């Protein structure tokens, strides 16, 4: 699953997006509500909030239990560089 804003894109594997526990962690961790849960508990990307991302990395920390981390924050303004986990 991927959603593109003007400045950033968020990409997450479909397997991770369907994990309800990870969806809850990401939804709770993000201070600008880029992530939400559907009625079924799976992950949803909130398109209107993508460019509110402050590049804090809390989502990458929340996804840290997965190996490899199934989530990328792509800086579209920086030649598609990705935010590195803290």
The pLDDT confidence band at residue 64, using thresholds 50, 70 and 90, is: confident
Tens of pLDDT, residue by residue over 18-54, are: 999 999 999 999 999 999 999 999 999 999 999 999 9
CA 40 to chain centre: 18
Q: Name the pTM for this structure.
A: 0.92
Q: Give the model's confidence band at 67: pLDDT under 50 very low, under 70 low, under 90 confident, else very high.
A: confident
Tell me which residue range forms the domain holding 64: 2-82
Q: From 20, 47, 69, 18, select the one nearest 83 (Cα to Cα).
A: 69
- Number of structural domains the chain divides into: 1
Q: What is the DSSP string of 24-59?
A: HHHHHH-TT--EEE-TTS-EEE-GGGGGG-----HH
- The pLDDT, as a whole number, for residue 11 is 96
Degrees to nearest 5, angle at CA 36 with 22 and 79 = 85
pLDDT at 8 over 80: yes
Say which CATH number the domain at 11 has.
3.30.70.20
């Amino acid at each position: 699953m991927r959603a593109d804003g003007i400045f950033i894109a968020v990409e997450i594997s479909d397997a991770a997006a369907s994990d309800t526990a990870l969806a809850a962690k990401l939804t709770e961790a993000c201070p600008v509500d880029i992530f939400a849960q559907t009625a079924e508990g799976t992950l949803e990307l909130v398109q209107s909030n993508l460019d509110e991302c402050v590049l804090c990395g809390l989502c990458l920390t929340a996804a840290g239990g997965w190996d490899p981390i199934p989530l990328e924050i792509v800086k579209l303004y920086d030649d598609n560089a990705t935010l590195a986990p803290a």
